Structure 1
Amino acid sequence: MTTAFRIHPGDNVATLLGDGTDSVTVIGEGEVALNEAIALGHKMAVADIAAGEAVVKFGIPIGHAAVAIRKGDWVHLHNCASRFDERSGGFDVVTGAAKDMAYD
Protein backbone atom coordinates (compact mmCIF):
# COMPACT_ATOMS: atom_id res chain seq x y z
CA MET A 1 0.00 0.00 0.00
CA THR A 2 1.17 3.52 -0.79
CA THR A 3 2.07 5.81 2.09
CA ALA A 4 1.83 9.55 2.56
CA PHE A 5 3.10 11.94 5.20
CA ARG A 6 1.66 15.01 6.83
CA ILE A 7 4.49 17.45 7.55
CA HIS A 8 2.81 19.43 10.35
CA PRO A 9 -0.07 18.40 12.63
CA GLY A 10 -2.07 21.43 11.46
CA ASP A 11 -1.82 20.48 7.77
CA ASN A 12 -4.97 19.50 5.89
CA VAL A 13 -2.96 17.84 3.10
CA ALA A 14 -0.42 15.01 2.98
CA THR A 15 2.19 14.21 0.32
CA LEU A 16 2.20 10.79 -1.37
CA LEU A 17 5.40 8.73 -1.28
CA GLY A 18 4.27 6.60 -4.22
CA ASP A 19 1.50 6.46 -6.79
CA GLY A 20 -1.89 5.90 -5.13
CA THR A 21 -5.03 4.43 -6.67
CA ASP A 22 -7.43 3.18 -3.99
CA SER A 23 -6.18 4.21 -0.57
CA VAL A 24 -3.03 5.37 1.20
CA THR A 25 -1.69 5.05 4.71
CA VAL A 26 -0.86 8.43 6.22
CA ILE A 27 2.16 7.69 8.40
CA GLY A 28 1.19 7.66 12.07
CA GLU A 29 -2.47 8.36 11.31
CA GLY A 30 -4.06 5.50 9.38
CA GLU A 31 -5.68 4.76 6.06
CA VAL A 32 -7.44 7.29 3.82
CA ALA A 33 -9.54 6.23 0.81
CA LEU A 34 -8.62 8.07 -2.38
CA ASN A 35 -11.36 9.53 -4.57
CA GLU A 36 -9.08 9.42 -7.63
CA ALA A 37 -5.61 8.25 -8.61
CA ILE A 38 -2.85 10.50 -7.25
CA ALA A 39 0.78 10.43 -8.37
CA LEU A 40 3.93 10.25 -6.29
CA GLY A 41 4.84 13.61 -4.73
CA HIS A 42 1.39 15.12 -5.12
CA LYS A 43 -0.89 16.28 -2.31
CA MET A 44 -4.09 14.68 -1.08
CA ALA A 45 -6.63 16.16 1.30
CA VAL A 46 -6.64 14.52 4.74
CA ALA A 47 -9.78 16.45 5.70
CA ASP A 48 -12.62 18.15 3.87
CA ILE A 49 -11.62 21.67 2.78
CA ALA A 50 -14.44 24.12 2.03
CA ALA A 51 -14.26 26.42 -1.00
CA GLY A 52 -12.27 29.49 0.02
CA GLU A 53 -10.72 27.73 3.03
CA ALA A 54 -6.94 27.68 3.44
CA VAL A 55 -4.96 24.73 2.10
CA VAL A 56 -2.33 24.18 4.79
CA LYS A 57 1.08 22.51 4.33
CA PHE A 58 4.20 23.02 6.47
CA GLY A 59 1.80 24.45 9.08
CA ILE A 60 1.13 27.52 6.91
CA PRO A 61 -1.49 28.36 4.27
CA ILE A 62 -0.07 27.65 0.81
CA GLY A 63 -3.25 28.70 -1.00
CA HIS A 64 -6.99 28.31 -0.80
CA ALA A 65 -9.52 25.83 -2.12
CA ALA A 66 -10.95 27.15 -5.39
CA VAL A 67 -13.82 24.65 -4.96
CA ALA A 68 -14.86 22.32 -2.16
CA ILE A 69 -12.24 19.58 -1.74
CA ARG A 70 -13.20 16.27 -0.14
CA LYS A 71 -10.98 14.14 2.07
CA GLY A 72 -9.11 11.82 -0.31
CA ASP A 73 -9.14 14.25 -3.26
CA TRP A 74 -6.02 15.21 -5.22
CA VAL A 75 -5.06 18.79 -4.27
CA HIS A 76 -3.42 20.59 -7.18
CA LEU A 77 -3.86 23.50 -9.61
CA HIS A 78 -7.35 22.41 -10.67
CA ASN A 79 -8.83 22.94 -7.18
CA CYS A 80 -6.28 25.03 -5.26
CA ALA A 81 -5.31 28.64 -5.97
CA SER A 82 -2.37 30.59 -4.60
CA ARG A 83 -3.07 33.64 -2.49
CA PHE A 84 0.29 35.04 -3.58
CA ASP A 85 0.13 34.47 -7.33
CA GLU A 86 -3.24 34.82 -9.01
CA ARG A 87 -1.74 33.24 -12.17
CA SER A 88 -1.39 29.87 -10.44
CA GLY A 89 -4.87 28.87 -11.58
CA GLY A 90 -3.81 29.51 -15.17
CA PHE A 91 -1.44 26.55 -15.46
CA ASP A 92 -2.20 23.33 -17.31
CA VAL A 93 -2.79 20.68 -14.61
CA VAL A 94 -0.94 17.99 -16.59
CA THR A 95 2.11 19.83 -17.96
CA GLY A 96 2.34 22.77 -15.55
CA ALA A 97 2.73 25.16 -18.50
CA ALA A 98 1.15 28.60 -18.19
CA LYS A 99 -1.98 28.89 -20.33
CA ASP A 100 -1.56 32.65 -20.81
CA MET A 101 1.99 32.62 -22.20
CA ALA A 102 3.52 31.19 -25.36
CA TYR A 103 6.95 29.64 -24.95
CA ASP A 104 8.95 29.75 -28.20
Structure 2
Amino acid sequence: MVDSGPPGYLIHDDADVVAVAVRDLQPGPVVGGYLRKPDPVTIELRHPVPLGHKLALTDIAAGADVIEYGQRVATATADIGQGDYVHVHNVRSARWHNSVA
Protein backbone atom coordinates (compact mmCIF):
# COMPACT_ATOMS: atom_id res chain seq x y z
CA MET A 1 0.00 0.00 0.00
CA VAL A 2 1.31 3.46 -0.93
CA ASP A 3 1.91 5.88 1.95
CA SER A 4 -0.98 8.37 1.79
CA GLY A 5 0.28 10.84 4.41
CA PRO A 6 2.14 14.09 3.78
CA PRO A 7 5.04 13.96 1.31
CA GLY A 8 7.87 11.79 2.57
CA TYR A 9 10.66 13.47 0.65
CA LEU A 10 11.47 16.53 -1.46
CA ILE A 11 13.33 16.77 -4.75
CA HIS A 12 14.96 20.18 -5.19
CA ASP A 13 15.85 20.20 -8.90
CA ASP A 14 14.97 18.30 -12.10
CA ALA A 15 18.59 17.09 -12.38
CA ASP A 16 18.71 15.61 -8.86
CA VAL A 17 19.41 11.89 -8.39
CA VAL A 18 18.71 12.04 -4.65
CA ALA A 19 15.90 13.47 -2.54
CA VAL A 20 15.75 14.50 1.13
CA ALA A 21 13.47 12.77 3.62
CA VAL A 22 11.19 15.26 5.37
CA ARG A 23 10.23 12.68 7.99
CA ASP A 24 11.51 9.28 9.07
CA LEU A 25 10.73 6.83 6.26
CA GLN A 26 10.30 3.06 6.28
CA PRO A 27 10.86 0.56 3.44
CA GLY A 28 8.03 0.29 0.93
CA PRO A 29 6.34 2.75 -1.43
CA VAL A 30 6.69 6.39 -0.36
CA VAL A 31 5.27 9.45 -2.10
CA GLY A 32 7.26 12.67 -2.40
CA GLY A 33 7.64 15.40 -4.93
CA TYR A 34 9.47 18.31 -6.47
CA LEU A 35 9.56 21.73 -4.85
CA ARG A 36 8.43 23.41 -8.10
CA LYS A 37 6.11 20.79 -9.61
CA PRO A 38 2.69 19.60 -8.48
CA ASP A 39 3.03 15.96 -9.60
CA PRO A 40 3.80 13.39 -6.90
CA VAL A 41 6.63 10.88 -7.32
CA THR A 42 6.49 7.40 -5.75
CA ILE A 43 9.69 5.52 -4.87
CA GLU A 44 9.93 2.01 -3.45
CA LEU A 45 12.31 2.43 -0.51
CA ARG A 46 14.60 -0.49 0.16
CA HIS A 47 15.90 0.75 3.53
CA PRO A 48 14.74 3.04 6.35
CA VAL A 49 15.74 6.67 5.73
CA PRO A 50 15.90 9.07 8.71
CA LEU A 51 14.55 12.62 8.60
CA GLY A 52 16.98 14.91 6.75
CA HIS A 53 18.87 12.09 5.06
CA LYS A 54 18.96 11.20 1.36
CA LEU A 55 17.37 8.49 -0.76
CA ALA A 56 18.25 7.52 -4.33
CA LEU A 57 15.72 8.48 -7.01
CA THR A 58 17.55 6.41 -9.62
CA ASP A 59 20.36 3.89 -9.83
CA ILE A 60 23.77 5.54 -9.26
CA ALA A 61 26.91 3.69 -10.34
CA ALA A 62 30.03 3.62 -8.18
CA GLY A 63 32.18 6.61 -9.16
CA ALA A 64 29.23 8.62 -10.51
CA ASP A 65 28.35 12.11 -9.34
CA VAL A 66 25.55 12.47 -6.80
CA ILE A 67 23.45 15.48 -7.80
CA GLU A 68 21.31 17.45 -5.34
CA TYR A 69 20.07 21.05 -5.73
CA GLY A 70 21.18 20.62 -9.36
CA GLN A 71 24.81 20.49 -8.14
CA ARG A 72 27.38 17.76 -7.59
CA VAL A 73 27.40 17.16 -3.83
CA ALA A 74 29.13 13.79 -3.63
CA THR A 75 30.60 10.83 -5.49
CA ALA A 76 29.16 7.34 -5.12
CA THR A 77 31.69 4.99 -3.51
CA ALA A 78 29.54 1.93 -4.26
CA ASP A 79 26.69 1.09 -6.59
CA ILE A 80 23.46 2.60 -5.22
CA GLY A 81 20.08 1.31 -6.30
CA GLN A 82 16.91 3.31 -6.71
CA GLY A 83 15.24 3.51 -3.29
CA ASP A 84 18.47 2.95 -1.35
CA TYR A 85 19.51 5.02 1.65
CA VAL A 86 22.29 7.40 0.56
CA HIS A 87 24.78 8.30 3.28
CA VAL A 88 28.44 8.02 4.30
CA HIS A 89 28.48 4.26 3.71
CA ASN A 90 28.01 4.71 -0.05
CA VAL A 91 29.04 8.29 -0.93
CA ARG A 92 31.94 10.63 -0.35
CA SER A 93 31.37 14.37 -0.10
CA ALA A 94 32.40 16.39 -3.15
CA ARG A 95 33.41 19.22 -0.84
CA TRP A 96 36.26 17.23 0.69
CA HIS A 97 36.94 14.93 -2.26
CA ASN A 98 40.01 16.78 -3.58
CA SER A 99 41.44 17.80 -0.20
CA VAL A 100 41.67 14.34 1.41
CA ALA A 101 44.05 11.69 0.15
> Where on the TM-score scale, by shorter chain, does this alignment land: which range?
0.7 to 0.9
Long gaps (5+) in structure 1: 87-104
**What is aligned with 2:36?**
none
Long gaps (5+) in structure 2: 34-38
Detail structure 1 runs of 4+ shifted over 2 Å in the superposition. none
Say which of 59, 66, 70 aligns to 1:59. 70
Tell me how far apart the structure 2 counterparts of residues 45 and 20 of structure 1 sit (CA, whole Å): 13
**What is aligned with 1:25?**
31
Is the partner of 2:23 in helix, strand or coil?
coil
Is the partner of 1:85 in helix, strand or coil?
helix
Is the partner of 1:51 in helix, strand or coil?
coil
Tell me how far apart the structure 2 counterparts of residues 19 and 83 of structure 1 sit (CA, whole Å): 25
Tell me how far apart the structure 1 counterparts of residues 96 and 52 of structure 2 sit (CA, whole Å): 22
TM-score by length of 2: 0.79
**What is aligned with 2:10?**
5
Tell me how far apart the structure 2 counterparts of residues 72 and 29 of structure 1 sit (CA, whole Å): 16
Aligned-pair Cα RMSD in Å: 1.9
TM-score by length of 1: 0.77
Percent identity over paired residues: 31
More strand by share: 2
Amino acid of the structure 1 residue aligned with 2:59: D
Q: Which has the higher contact order (CA 8 A, sep 6+)?
A: 2
Q: Within the alignment, does 1:43 sit opposite 2:54 as a pair?
A: yes
Tell me how far apart the structure 1 counterparts of residues 66 and 40 of structure 2 sit (CA, whole Å): 19
Larger Rg: 1 or 2?
A: 1
Amino acid of the structure 1 residue aligned with 2:51: L
